[in-house]
Amino acid sequence: MQSLAMIENWPVPTAAAAVVRADGTVLGTRGPTAHRFPLASVTKPLAAYAALVAYEEGAIELDESAGPAGSTVRHLLAHTSGLAFDEHRTTSEPGARRLYSNAGFEVLGDHIAKATDIPFAEYLRQAVFEPLGMAATTLDGSPAKDGVSTVDDLVRFAAEVQAPRLLDPRTVAEAMTVQYPGTKGVLPGYGHQNPNDWGLGFEIRDHKSPHWTGGSSSPRTFGHFGQSGTFLWVDPDAGVACVALTDRAFGPWAAEVWPPFTDAVRAEV
């Protein structure tokens, strides 16, 4: 895919990218796809997938209490628990606002660890990384932001979320469905969005503007980006997913180059 060559002009020391279909067919790669990059918040979809495995195993329920009073596992996954961004304090009633929260995912990890009697990083390895063959991926701290992985491994994950083997497809469809529709909030790096739609651990593009995906991305596109200059999106209407990892912190450079890159990828598939 010629579009992937665009990463060579990004103002970053190292970048790697790939595009994959639901059946695992890799349409193209660029850069050192076996290089391990810090994921930052691209860790969250991985952690969310482990939470969904725990749900299907019967260890937790999506609507059981977790986090602040009145909050549930679903609230934590959908960033509506009321917990602050990076502090374990409550700033809103559960369900009232979309408050993007690292703290919420840390509470979620603790909740699953207690329910399963397995440290969350180990549960994530057993539930997601090992069965998908993601041998180069680790969680080295917070389930909100401390994952480390490669493009090669995330391609496996991106194929899984398009054609689930670890989970019932109905569970994954629920995760990609807007939770608490109409909820306003701030999309980090892109400002206030009304609504700020989110699924269970996955951001849903819908009609947000500005946005880190492309102008041609379908409203059903879902995924996540990270402050370490990383992203993973899945566009169900195009039938493909794209992973791009870099080692430069997110900033104006990313907001400038990511959307045209995504549009160029979409134009080729």
DSSP 103-147: HHHHHHHHHHHHHHTS-HHHHHIIIIIHHHT-TT-EE-S-TTTBE
Q: What is the mean pLDDT of residues 181-191?
A: 93
Under the banding of pLDDT at 50, 70 and 90, the label for residue 194 is very high
pLDDT in tens, 28-54: 999 999 999 999 999 999 999 999 999
Q: What is the pLDDT of residue 267?
A: 96
What is the reported pLDDT for 166? 97
Q: What is the pLDDT of residues 141-171, one digit of tens each?
A: 999 999 999 999 999 999 999 999 999 999 9
Read off the pLDDT of each residue in 172-189 and give the average, rounded to a whole number.
95
Strands 37-40 and 222-226, by their bridges, are: unpaired
Residue 113, pLDDT score: 98
pLDDT at residue 63, rounded to an integer: 98
Q: What average pLDDT does the chain have?
A: 97
pLDDT over 70, % of the chain: 100
Cβ pair 261, 7 in contact under 8 A: yes
Picking from 28, 43, 47, 234, the residue whose alpha carbon sits closest to that of residue 123 is 47
pLDDT the model gives residue 47:
98
Other beta carbons within 10 Å of 131: 14
What whole-number distance in Å separates Cα of residue 38 and Cα of residue 49?
18
**What's the confidence (pLDDT) of residue 178?**
97
Cα→Cα distances 69→63, 64, 91, 95, Å: 13, 11, 12, 12
pLDDT band (50, 70, 90) for residue 231: very high
User: What structural domains does the chain harbor?
Assistant: 2-268 (3.40.710.10)
The DSSP 8-state label assigned to residue 207 in this structure reads T
